[in-house]
Amino acid sequence: MPTFEQVVEFLMTPSWAVIILGLAIVLGAPVLLHVILSRSVTYIVPPSVLLLGPRNAGKTALQTLYERGGRPAPSAATTHTSQSSQSVELNASTDAARKTTYRNHDESDGTYTKFLLVDTPGHGKLRGSAMGRLRRAEKLRAVDGWLGEYGSDKFEFGQMQEFDIEVDVVPGSVMAEEPDADKWWWWIAQRV
């Protein structure tokens, strides 16, 4: 067994073995570190909230309001029919001081969850892109295309409760003089 002095003397003496060992350490260590770190951290896709509805329902205006964190400019409030889906990354909290309002862009207290708010086209001919987005979603919670099925002529929310599907009717307004979309924001924050 070589002593410590012999090992140090061998490493300090120029030879092909020392050069190859040095190159292996210098080039191999970063690669090994990259492999270890890339396996331990997975890319996390934030949850998506889809805004679905008929054309001229205010989906784009709602997305603009949440994105800007305040009352939209008059030019932003008057929108047009979307031709493609638009995504905005937002932060929601259930434990911050201003958790029930979307006007919390500058807050630093609380735990925030990132999510994507996706505005989909409302026109019937463009609705296929929204449905395609649903098909590609990874962690889809629930989609219900049941309305009016099983021979019922008239739809009632009570029919949904029979199948343990919770329906919340939450009031709000985007286009009013003072937008009132806080209840919608709180509803989204509790579910992401």
Tens digits of per-residue pLDDT, 43-57?
Answer: 677 888 878 777 777
In three-state secondary structure terms, 160 is: helix
Half-sphere exposure of 40 (CA within 13 A, CB side): 6
Q: Is 71 exposed, middle or buried (0-12, 13-18, 19+ CB in 10 A)?
A: middle
Structure-token pair, residue 83:
């031709």
Summarize pLDDT for 138-150 with one digit per residue, the tens. Answer: 666 555 555 555 6
Summarize pLDDT for 61-83 with one digit per residue, the tens. Answer: 888 888 877 655 454 455 666 67
Structure-token pair, residue 58:
């205010």
Q: How many H helices and E strands in the chain? A: 7, 3
Q: Is 77 exposed, middle or buried (0-12, 13-18, 19+ CB in 10 A)?
A: middle
- Supply the pLDDT for residue 140: 62
Residue 121, amino acid: P
Q: Where are the beta strands (DSSP E) in 78-164?
A: 86-93, 112-119
Query: How far apart are alpha carbons 59 and 121 in whole angstroms?
Result: 9
How far, CA to CA in Å, does 106 sit from each of 2, 103, 110, 178?
63, 8, 12, 20
DSSP state letter for 180: B
Identify the residue with better confidence: 63 or 160: 63
